[in-house]
Amino acid sequence: MILWISLALFMTFLMMIVLFRDLLYSAIALALASVTLSVVLFLFKANIAAVFELSVCAGLITVLFVSTISLTKNSDQKTESRVPAAFLPFVLVLLLALDLGLTVWLAREMLPAGQSGSAATFKEVFWTIRATDIWGQVSLVLVGVFGILAIFRVAPGRKNHE
């Protein structure tokens, strides 16, 4: 029962992100969607992924979005949509039909084989089997840090455009 409620809330928050015109409300709806997604992850016993989702996606990414929105609050947001609002219900019906078709196809064709997973724990998988991933993640975090440093670096003797 909690799963169905969480999934319904998750989809509602996602729709709110799409429908809200105010970017700040959309960012808050994204944080709430992350919270409900972490509840779903907890329900399927993916505890560590759920903690990551809750702390990083609902916390850090929301802070980044709110900071960016406040730094760019004077930007124009009126003529942003390429699709007229009247077409949105048709687009949603089309997406739902496509989604239903894909889910039925996946259920019939893709996963009939049943259980094939190993009995390894998360610790074994993360630190032993997929140990190379950790190096990739570390280098990715460093790329992010140096990327941000390069973006906001001001050359000596040169003023910012602002």
Q: Under rule CB under 8 A, which residues in 109-138 are in contact with other proteins? A: 111-113, 115-118, 120-122, 124-126, 129-130, 133, 136-137
Two structure tokens written together for 24? 């700040």
CB of 32 within 8 A of CB of 59?
no
Identified binder of other proteins from the candidate list 1, 86, 151, 155, rule CB under 8 A: 151
> CB-based contacts of 126: which residues, under 8 Å, 6+ apart?
133, 134
Residue list 40-99, contact with other proteins (CB under 8 A): 40-41, 44-46, 48-49, 52-53, 56-57, 60-61, 64-65, 67-69, 71-72, 74-77, 79-83, 91, 95-96, 98-99
Closer of 150 and 157 to other proteins (Cβ): 150
DSSP annotation of 55 reads I
CB of 157 to other proteins, least distance (A): 18
SS3 113: coil
CB of 113 to other proteins, least distance (A): 8
Closer of 55 and 156 to other proteins (Cβ): 55
Residue list 26-45, contact with other proteins (CB under 8 A): 26-27, 30, 33-34, 37, 40-41, 44-45
Can you tell me the distance from the alpha carbon of 125 to that of 132, in angstroms, rounded to the nearest whole number? 11
Two structure tokens written together for 58? 């609902």
Can you tell me the distance from the alpha carbon of 144 to that of 150, in angstroms, rounded to the nearest whole number? 10
